[in-house]
Amino acid sequence: MKTAFSIIITLVLFIMVWWSITDLTDDTGIQLETSKPYAEIYMNDFEITAMNEDGSPGYILSGKYLQKINESDDIEIEHPVFLMKQQENQWKVSADSAIVNDKKETILLTDNIVMQQQNADPAVTIRTSNLLIHTKTQVAQTRAHVDISNGLSQIESDGMIYNNISSDLELSSNVNGYYVPND
């Protein structure tokens, strides 16, 4: 009888321990729900410098807020400022928001974009509503309406492609405006 009682007690203890262990692992809530998006990375008031192959700064990207959502290649940025750092052709591009895709090497800027030439007097200023910049080739393009000003000169176009390395600007369609030579 003592042996049967000992076996029953041991069996009951084994079941209680096993049940408590399996119950604890199920109720901890440590596992993340993969169906809901969440921020994998986020930063406030940041600045990122990307280097060229020769080790010099290719561009500098700063902003008020950055976040990368899980299972996405896109990084969302609030109030980005993008500085293209070529030797002679330096531009500062600011916007309300941007989406960076590092795999495609692109930055899509949206809303209230101002692209301003640096180290030039008078500086060329380009305004538009969206702009796609290929970071490796430093080509900026849009199909949206573009307002370009340089001193007293004004030009408008529906779309443009600007190559920062070669300084080529191609205006797409409905181009009109006026040119006043700088003194």
Q: Specify the CATH number for 39-178; select among 3.30.360.10, 2.60.450.10, 3.40.50.720, 3.40.640.10.
A: 2.60.450.10
Distance of CA 100 to the CA centre of its chain: 3
10-19, 40-49, 86-95, 103-112: which has the highest mean pLDDT?
103-112
Total residues found in the chain within this entry: 183
Q: What is the pLDDT of residues 8-37, one digit of tens each?
A: 777 767 777 776 776 444 445 555 555 677
Amino acid sitting at position 37:
P
Distance of CA 182 to the CA centre of its chain: 37
Instruction: Give me the residue spans of the domains in the chain.
Output: 1-31, 39-178
Question: Percentage of the chain with pLDDT > 90?
Answer: 32
| pLDDT score for 35 | 67
Amino acid sitting at position 147:
D
Question: Which of 112, 78, 114, 82 shows the shortest CA–CA distance to 98?
Answer: 78
Q: Does 7 have pLDDT greater than 70?
A: yes
Tokens at residue 23, please?
């119950």
